[in-house]
A and B are shown apart, each in its own frame.
Chain A
Amino acid sequence: MTRRRAGKTLAFVFVSILALIWLVPIIMMLVVSFMPPEQRAPRFGGLLISGVSLRNYETIFADTEVIRHFINSAAVTIPSVALVVIISSLAAFALARLKFLARDIWFYLLIMTLMLPIPTLVVPIFQINKALGLNDNYLGLILPYTALGVPFAIVILRSFFAGFPIEIEEAARLDGCTRFGIYWRIMMPVSWPAVAVVIIWQFMTSWNEFILALVTMNSVDVKPLTLVPLVYSGQFLMRPGPMFAILTLITLPVIVVYYLMQRFMVSGLTAGAVRG
């Protein structure tokens, strides 16, 4: 018993030290963003600062259109999350609970998308957006993000729906509930752990997406936050403070969303695992 406790203590010390090292880059991002502008040369990559100041944040709000870029990111991310939840849950419901023409073929086709590296599609999506007049337009990102996010969401939701007891569905059918009613009024309300996983994942990928944004959004007015470090890199290159304040601002929303939703993450993933 004591040997077991010693083992646990050792394990605790090991993960504690590793966790501290693990966090260094994130801590660095925060610390440098609070560095007083007087401090010209940050030492230890900026891990040691001579005081705490909010001046970098004042600078970026005063000198850049950071709020506009923040809104741009939200205007792309939120619709893509909503669309992915709606479109993929409809499809996942059909794939899990309905019989229809070529069902399995559709599923495999969609799953294949999961394995598609986005950079292969950059050239054609750029050309499609050009043809549809969607470059420099939020829709030029919302639609491809949704299309590319749907397959993963379907995998998660389909296995969740598949585990739903058939008896309840049959009872609802006898009471005159339509297929859509079963999906909307019975399945969706109890599927929040899986929906939470989908929301976190889609929020993260849309908010952090880079390569499509880089080629689609050329006008500064519509650029999302991830492109901001490039836009201002000339201006801020010599000044890590404001740059790292922007980096912190890019990171904050994903951390918040993850923190709010993370308790569903393992249960949502496990549910997918059990039924596959």
Chain B
Amino acid sequence: MSRNWLIDNQGLFFMAPAMILFAVFVLYPILYIFGASLYDWDGINQAIYVGAQNYIEMFTNDRSFAISIRNSLYWTVLTIFPQMILGFTLASILTSGIPFQNVFRIIFFMPAIVSPVVLGIVWQRIYAPFGGLLADLGREIGAHFLIQPYIADPKIAIFSTIFVNVWQWTGFSMLMYVAGLQGLSQEVLSAAQVDGAGTRQRIQYIILPMLRHVHLTLILLGVIGTLQTFALVYMLTKGGPNHATEMLPTYIFQKAFTLQSMGYASAVAVVLLLIALSASIFQVRVLGSRFTIGG
């Protein structure tokens, strides 16, 4: 009897390693942060139970937390849409049969595979006010608007950081659209052409709606990417000046490992987790099991 059960369910054996890792490094950590968020704890000494105090503090009296939330909103909107528009434009051009289109695809995708640590340091030299690429270029050709305190001015630092992120990930959007465009039914497209649809009409009424899954996947990955952002900000600005470029992950890191407030950091992590979870539930509801990478 139980032997039969095991044979019928032998899929569980195939799943076992993945499930064990999931339990130890995903499920347990999630429960852990919920528990730890209720304590005042430095990670070494005895933790003191404080109930919802960390959350109350966070939402009523924490300017850096508020800035991180605001920055996440900026980041989400200002990376996802420019990336999608530019990515789609590039993908359309790079599937139209122009020379070297594979080379171009590799070039535009390349920043996505480079470590954000590397990019953070390189872009510091692009943004540097003295000897930096943009400032020197501005001086040389007399375009003084190029000389800006890109990452030193709290008002614009977050936008300079977002710009780097857009540059890094546009190639990824492009590749997703390339895969999506190549999966489109040629019959529908040529039928539209026969019916006299112009290029613009074809894009607006046929191609863009048919790529709905790519759009939605990119929006979701954009939200998750925003919520993951750490290394680029850490290397480029360390969350500064004066917390102006703080994101939830940099704030968690600072609280947990610089200020030794593991309990408070866990509470911030819970908020981050809930935001991410709502985004993914939204995804499953909209797309169901048709979660796709590429179209």
Interface residues of A (CB under 8 A from B): 8, 11-12, 14-15, 18-19, 22-26, 28-29, 32, 41-47, 86-88, 90-91, 93-95, 98-101, 103-104, 106-128, 143-144, 146-148, 150, 152, 154-156, 159, 179, 183, 204, 207-208, 210-211, 214-215, 226, 229, 240, 243-244, 247, 250-251, 254-255, 258-259, 262, 265-266, 269-270, 272-274, 276
Contacts and interface: CB of A to CB of B under 8 A. Distances in A.
B219 to A, nearest CB: 12
B110 A117 contact: no
B22 A109 contact: yes
A120 B273 contact: yes
Contacts of B280: 111-112, 114-115
A250 B118 contact: yes
Looking at chain A's contact residues, is the secondary structure mostly helix, strand, loop, or mixed? helix
Contacts of B137: 44
Give the top 3 A-B pairs by smallest Cβ distance, nearest first. A45-B133, A273-B295, A100-B11
A103 B117 contact: no
A68 B92 CA distance: 44
B156 interface: no
Given A44-B136, A117-B228, A266-B182, A123 B108 contact: no
Contacts of B21: 87, 143, 146-147, 150
A15 B26 contact: no
Contact of A22 (B8, B167, B179, B262): B167
Interface of B: 8-12, 14-15, 17-19, 21-22, 24-26, 28-30, 32-33, 36, 43, 90, 93-94, 96-99, 104, 106-111, 113-119, 121-123, 125-126, 128, 131-134, 136-137, 140, 167, 175-176, 178-180, 182-183, 213, 220, 224, 227-228, 230-231, 234-235, 248-249, 252-253, 256-257, 262, 265-266, 269-270, 272-273, 276-277, 279-280, 283-284, 289-295
Nearest to B282: A115
A160 to B, nearest CB: 11
B234 A210 contact: yes
B64 to A, nearest CB: 15
Contact of A207 (B15, B115, B256): B115
Contact of B276 (A93, A120, A244): A120
Given A91-B15, A147-B22, A266-B179, A112 B277 contact: yes
